[in-house]
Amino acid sequence: MASAIGLSARLVEGLNYRVVEYRSIPVSVIVKDGEVVHIGYSLFTPWQRSHMSEDQCNFIERLMLASDLGEFYGKSFQKHLAEERIRFEKGSVADLKTLCLDTNAYFQITLQDDKRYICNWYSENRRSVTLSYPADYLLLKGVTIQEGENRLAVEARRFRLEEVEPANPVEQIMVNAGNSPIYVLTGEIFHLPELNSNRYFVNDPETGWQLLYGEDFPFESMANLVTGVELESDIEVAFTQVKYGYKREEFTLPLRQWIGYCLQQGCRPYFGVISEKDGTVAAELVMNNPEMGYAHVMKFTFSTDIIKERKGTVKARLNAFVPMSNLKSLFNENEIH
C-alpha cells in the first residue's frame, strides 16, 4: 500500500497524522519498531484513536484508501465488499472520504449481537454514512488466517507486563463458598456454568482481601492464575498450536505473560476443570474476544505440585482465532465439571 501511493519519506515512530496526501485526501501512517504497520485515509483524529479500538480505526481508514487503489485485494473493490459482507447501509465510500475533511463530523459505533459492527457518522446533526461489517479478527487486521496464526507467538513474546495493581474486590458482592474460608467473586459464564471467570479470595485479618493461592486449593488457585496477572509465578506453558492446514507450531511462554497478552488484546478469560486424577488436572481456558469475533481455546494439563511449588511447566494444545460459530465443536459440553 505504501508503494502504491508513492510513500517514500522516512517517518518517525508512532502515529504520523495527516503527514501526506493522496488524491487530495490526507493520509495517516503508523510506524512501530521501524516498520509501517498502517496506512489509510485520515478519518480519525489522534484523540478519537485514543478513545476507540485502534484496529477499528485502522480497518476503516485502510478500507477507504484501498477503494482508490484498483484491485488492491486481488479483485474489484465492490467484489471485496460483497465477499467480506461489508455494507454501506447509508451513503458510500465516496461520502465517507469527504468526512476526512469535515472537522465537525462525529462518529458512533455499536456491536450488534457480537456479530456485526454498525458505524454511524454524523455531520451537521444528520446521519451522513452508515457502514456495517462483521466482527472478524482477520478482516479487521487485514491478514489471512495463516498470517494471524503465524504472528501470534511472535506478538505474545514481544508483550511486556506493566506494573500490576493488586486485586481489590468489592466486599458486598463476595459470596462465601459454603463452610470454607473461600469467597467467590462471581464472573461471567461461557456457555456452561462450569466454564466461567470466577475469582477466589480469602479475607486475611491483617492484610484484608487477598487472591486465594495455595496447594490445598489447586483448582481455585489455577483459576486465579489464568483470569488475571496479579499473582506472580514461574509457571510456563509449552504450547502445541494447531494451525490451519493441519500444521503445528511449538513454543513456550511464561503463563503470566500469555495471560497478560490476551487480556491486553481485549480477551475475556473463562476457565473450567475437565478432570482430575492422581494429582494431574485437565482443564480448559477460553480467551474470548467478542469485539474481534474470535477466541483462543487452550486445553492443558497441570500437576497439583505446580501450585505447591509455584513453578513448573504445563502442556497445552492451542487453537487460535477460532470463530465464535465454531467454538462448540472444540469442547464437549459433558467434559467440564
One digit per residue, pLDDT tens: the chain, 337 residues? 888 888 866 788 899 999 889 999 999 999 887 888 899 999 999 988 888 888 899 999 999 999 999 998 889 999 999 999 999 999 999 999 998 888 778 889 998 877 899 999 998 877 889 999 998 888 998 888 788 899 899 999 989 888 787 777 766 677 887 778 899 999 999 988 999 999 999 988 888 889 999 999 999 999 999 999 999 999 999 999 999 888 999 999 999 999 999 999 889 999 999 999 999 999 999 999 988 889 999 999 999 999 999 999 999 999 999 987 676 655 544 455 4
**pLDDT value of position 329:** 59
Q: 9: Cβ–Cβ under 8 A, 6 or more apart, which residues?
A: 19, 20
Is residue 182 within 8 A of residue 216, CB to CB? The reply is no
| Strand order across the beta sheet in which 126-134 lies | 87-90, 126-134, 116-123, 106-112
Per-residue model confidence (pLDDT) at position 334: 43
pLDDT at residue 58, as a whole number: 94
Q: Which pLDDT score is estimated for 77?
A: 95
> 142 and 63 in contact (C-beta within 8 Å)?
no
pLDDT at 23: 93
pTM for the full predicted model: 0.80
Burial 275-313 (b: 16+ CB within 10 A, else e): eeeeeebebbbbbbbbbbbbbbbbbbebbbebbeeeebe
